[in-house]
């Protein structure tokens, strides 16, 4: 299946923030998004252009992570701790454990393969001489279970009065966050600094093995890999995400009557997720990724599960929508985002505050939908009004995922008569076996979306016949 990407922007602050002050109130919905709605192309379903071209790293449709995950035996639900296995086994007499599967944007490298990459070189300088040439060098080598990887993102905490710059290599700076697309990062500095959210010291002459441990689990509907740094005690999060993930997959499939490929989920902290922007994606082939952030962010929001699990449920819903998108041949991107939150909410895997009424840009859905311009908000708002009207049930979601007809419209253009009439038909038929009696007109009025006076008139305007 063609590599696809859908995303939820509400975790963007996980890598952009260097302190709790950037996280906001733990009870508030995150509004840190810069995604604008477009009505001509489906921007939510393309791989981001911002990632540098690392031709030895990832190839679409045949990436290392997908191959590694498929190679794992699907015969046990036991947890496989790669690091612990290495410690407890007699390596002279046993076959090495298989490498943990990686998210699509990472790959392993060893020896000459790592050396083929140009290192990222950074410089720490006084603010008064930002172009200085420090004499000391420290090295950061990212890895998973002791095996080096091709990219990393990390927080760099500098002494007061100092600044950081990229000297060479494929890297970017987002405030104090370094994103390096290389298996080796050289930090030139004459002062000691700290890196990552785990406050790891780094001084001239040091070589820091920035290693993350993996936990791989498998079941009939879900294979999951959970990564963590040893300095962060994540408790039972890996097991809970895997266990609850299976229940959510089954619940979403039962609600919609749709089945997709087996889910391969990657749960990761900021350092691995932020390499690919926000890190929460669905690829339309069973692979999904979930960014659970960093210790201060997760603590502010109540733990790893409240951060990661709603995003997981949202991305799983995208996998189901991918199976039925042919029923919506127009610009379905906003509808796709809306039904992903709505379905996750209906099955109890996403809190109401993440669904509405306050959108990612701070707009109140109860004030109407037509003038919203953020892709998730435009998608959520109509379904929020269906919820307010008491229509948003599992049966309703089944009707949306199985409309029984092809509906060609632009789901992001809520000023369009065609969009309003299509939503009239879709919602009426999803809500009732007698759609002409479903109270959809008032719902669309509350949304502020133009529409025909009745279900029959909407059908006529669209050139459709009653089912």
User: What is the pLDDT averaged over residues 188-209?
Assistant: 97
User: What is the pLDDT averaged over residues 411-436?
Assistant: 98
Instruction: Please say if the pLDDT value at position 395 is more than 50.
Output: yes
- Angle, CA of 452, 333 and 394, to the nearest 5°: 70
Closest CA to 223 of 262, 260, 194, 180: 262
**pLDDT value at position 111?**
87
Q: What is the pLDDT of residues 319-355, one digit of tens each?
A: 999 999 999 999 999 999 999 999 999 999 999 999 9
User: What is the pLDDT averaged over residues 359-372?
Assistant: 97
Instruction: Please say if the pLDDT value at position 281 is more than 60.
Output: yes
Of 8-12, 387-391, 436-440, minimum mean pLDDT range: 8-12
Closest CA to 401 of 374, 382, 429, 432: 429
Q: What span, in angstroms and rounded, lies between the C-alpha atoms of 204 and 434?
A: 74
The H or E element spanning position 325 is none
What is the pTM for the complete model shown? Answer: 0.82
**pLDDT value at position 82?**
44
* Residue 345, both tokens: 């909410």
Q: Decide if 375 contacts 35 (C-beta within 8 A).
A: yes
The partner residues of 364 in beta bridges, in order of sequence, read: 358
**pLDDT value at position 93?**
59
The band of 365, judged by pLDDT with boundaries at 50, 70 and 90, is: very high
Q: What span, in angstroms and rounded, lies between the C-alpha atoms of 221 and 460?
A: 42
Burial 260-273 (b: 16+ CB within 10 A, else e): bebbbbbbbbbbbb
Q: How would you classify the pairing of strands 177-180 and 263-269?
A: unpaired
- Angle, CA of 376, 378 and 381, to the nearest 5°: 100
User: What is the pLDDT averaged over residues 107-119?
Assistant: 94
Of 20-29, 166-175, 371-380, minimum mean pLDDT range: 20-29
DSSP readout, 128-143?
TSTT---S-EEEEEEE
Which one has a higher pLDDT value, 45 or 94?
A: 94
User: What is the pLDDT averaged over residues 299-321?
Assistant: 97
User: What is the pLDDT averaged over residues 112-137?
Assistant: 96
* Residue 94, both tokens: 């046993």
Instruction: Please say if the pLDDT value at position 4 is more than 60.
Output: no
- Angle, CA of 126, 129 and 134, to the nearest 5°: 70
Q: What is the pLDDT of residues 51-67, one digit of tens each?
A: 333 333 333 333 333 33
From the number of C-beta atoms within 10 Å of its C-beta (0-12, 13-18, 19+), residue 297 rates as: buried
**pLDDT value at position 59?**
32
Estimate the share of the chain in helix, then strand, then coil, as percent rounded to the nearest 5.
Answer: 35, 20, 45
**pLDDT value at position 164?**
97
Q: Decide if 427 contacts 407 (C-beta within 8 A).
A: no
Looking at every residue in the chain, the average pLDDT score rounds to: 85
CA distances from 60 to 63, 318, 320, 464 (A): 6, 19, 21, 39
Q: Decide if 24 contacts 18 (C-beta within 8 A).
A: no
Closest CA to 336 of 323, 351, 346: 323
The H or E element spanning position 458 is helix 455-462
Closest CA to 222 of 69, 115, 42: 69
**pLDDT value at position 94?**
65
Q: How would you classify the pairing of strands 207-218 and 80-81?
A: antiparallel
Instruction: Please say if the pLDDT value at position 28 is more than 60.
Output: no
Nearest 5°: phi and psi at 24? Answer: 75, -175
- Nearby residues of 448 by Cβ (< 8 Å), 6 or more positions away: 368, 369, 370, 371, 414
Instruction: Please say if the pLDDT value at position 30 is more than 60.
Output: no
Of 5-9, 132-136, 433-437, minimum mean pLDDT range: 5-9
Q: What span, in angstroms and rounded, lies between the C-alpha atoms of 144 and 82?
A: 9
Q: What span, in angstroms and rounded, lies between the C-alpha atoms of 111 and 454?
A: 68
């Amino acid at each position: 299946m063609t590599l696809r990407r859908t995303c939820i922007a509400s975790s963007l602050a996980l890598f952009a923030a260097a302190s709790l002050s950037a996280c906001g109130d733990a009870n508030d919905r995150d509004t840190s998004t810069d995604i604008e709605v477009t009505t001509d192309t489906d921007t939510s379903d393309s791989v981001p252009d911002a990632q540098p071209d690392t031709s030895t790293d990832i190839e679409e449709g045949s990436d290392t992570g997908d191959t590694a995950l498929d190679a794992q035996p699907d015969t046990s639900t036991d947890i496989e701790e790669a690091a612990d296995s290495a410690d407890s086994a007699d390596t002279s007499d046993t076959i090495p454990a298989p490498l943990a599967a990686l998210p699509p944007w990472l790959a392993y490298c060893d020896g000459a393969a790592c050396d083929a990459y140009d290192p990222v070189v950074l410089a720490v300088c006084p603010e008064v001489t930002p172009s200085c040439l420090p004499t000391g060098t420290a090295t950061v080598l990212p890895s998973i279970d002791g095996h080096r990887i091709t990219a990393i993102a990390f927080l760099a905490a500098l002494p007061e009065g100092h600044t950081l710059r990229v000297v060479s290599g494929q890297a970017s700076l987002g405030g104090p966050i370094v994103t390096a697309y290389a298996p080796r990062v050289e930090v030139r500095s004459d002062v000691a600094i700290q890196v990552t959210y785990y406050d790891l010291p780094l001084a001239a002459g040091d070589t820091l093995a920035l290693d993350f441990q993996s936990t791989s689990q498998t079941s009939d509907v879900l294979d999951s890999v959970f990564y963590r740094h040893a300095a962060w005690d994540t408790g039972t999060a890996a097991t809970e995400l895997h266990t609850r993930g299976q229940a959510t997959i089954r619940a979403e499939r039962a609600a919609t009557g749709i089945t997709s490929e087996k889910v391969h989920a990657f749960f990761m902290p900021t350092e691995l997720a932020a390499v690919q922007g926000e890190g929460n994606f669905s690829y339309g082939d069973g692979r999904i990724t979930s960014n659970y952030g960093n210790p201060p962010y997760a603590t502010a929001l109540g733990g790893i599960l409240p951060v990661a699990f709603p995003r997981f449920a949202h991305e799983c819903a995208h996998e189901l929508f991918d199976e039925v998108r042919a029923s919506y041949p127009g610009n379905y991107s906003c509808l796709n985002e809306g039904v992903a939150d709505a379905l996750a909410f209906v099955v109890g895997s996403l809190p109401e505050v993440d669904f509405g009424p306050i959108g990612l840009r701070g707009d109140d859905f109860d004030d109407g939908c037509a003038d919203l311009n953020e892709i998730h908000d435009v998608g959520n708002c109509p379904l929020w009004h269906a919820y307010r009207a008491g229509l948003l049930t599992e049966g309703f979601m089944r009707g949306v995922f199985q409309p029984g007809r092809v509906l060609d419209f632009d789901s992001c253009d809520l000023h369009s008569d065609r969009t309003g009439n299509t939503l009239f038909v879709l919602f009426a038929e999803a809500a009732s076996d007698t759609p002409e009696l479903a109270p959809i007109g008032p719902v669309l009025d509350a949304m502020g979306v133009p529409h025909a006076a009745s279900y029959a008139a909407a059908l006529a305007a669209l050139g459709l016949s009653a089912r």
